[in-house]
Amino acid sequence: MAIVFYVLAIVGEGLGVGYFHLCTAGFLVFYEITLPAQPGVDKQAPEKEGGGGKRRLSRGASQLFLSFAIITAWCGIIRDSWAVPGGLQLTAAKSLPGISGAIPVLNCIGSSLLLGFSLATMILGHWYLVSRKLPFKPLKLLTGFLCLAVLFRAGSAFAAMLAQSEYWSGSLAGGLTNFLLSGGLFVACRLLLGILLPGALALLAWRCARIESNQSATGILYVLVAFVFFGEILSKHFLAHQGVVL
């Protein structure tokens, strides 16, 4: 799924060569190739005598490629998000006061963490339905990090709204009804679908993981991922068409 997103990013840049995108996708491919099967967990990986050394070497290589993929991915995220204010100044209608390079970076980091942890936790929850021998500690840990990711995303959105307080005060000057009719309804949907509901669902999934109810947690996480995607799509819409970081 990550490789698909990077391909879409390259296509979105007009098939331009994004070196960080290409490197991350390549490292992820090598990570998947070198990742060894896990005996006792994967059905396709029966126990074999004398294969421990080869498995450790393969696991070390896969972890190295994964580390390179994570480093290049975050370098690309910071580079692209730091250049956002410059792109917004190209059109006078999108030139908003109070926005700096740090605000888009914080917003993009929060978006990446929320998308990453929600997808990873949902996929892990589904894997418990395939392999009953998996311990519940990883699911408990990831759902806990997911709750923190939602909090971080909410904080980044709040910081962006404070930095663009002039825009929001002008939008609310005509009253709440006028604001909702003039596009504020989409703002409410972005906050409700992208932050408030994912926060409540992440907490429920964490509580289900604590009592080792993986089927309930997986169902909740499936709905959470859908809400997160809706919220982040709306967030990118505001950024691309109105120059609003939200």
Higher pLDDT, 109 or 181: 109
What is the mean pLDDT of the segment spanning 21-36? 82
Q: Classify residue 89: in a domain, yes or no.
A: no
pLDDT band at 227 (very low <50, low <70, confident <90, very high): very high
Residues 115, 200, single domain; the answer is: yes
Domain containing 23: what range? 1-82
DSSP secondary structure letters along the chain: -HHHHHHHHHHHTTS---HHHHHHHHHHHHHHHHPPP-TTTSTT----TT-HHHHHHHHHHHHHHHHHHHHHHHHHHHHHHHTHHHHHTTSGGG--TT--THHHHHHHHHHHHHHHHHHHHHHHHHHTTT-TT--SHHHHHHHHHHHHHHHHHHHHHHHHHHHTHHHHHHHTTT-HHHHIIIIIHHHHHHHIIIIIHHHHHHHHHHHHHHTT-HHHHHHHHHHHHHHHHHHHHHHHHHHHHH----
Residues 185, 211, single domain; the answer is: yes
Query: What is the tally of structural domains in the chain?
Result: 2
pLDDT band at 207 (very low <50, low <70, confident <90, very high): very high
pLDDT tens track for 191-202: 899 999 999 999
**pLDDT score of 121 more than 50:** yes
Residues 141, 48, single domain; the answer is: no
Q: Classify residue 59: in a domain, yes or no.
A: yes
Residues 74, 104, single domain; the answer is: no
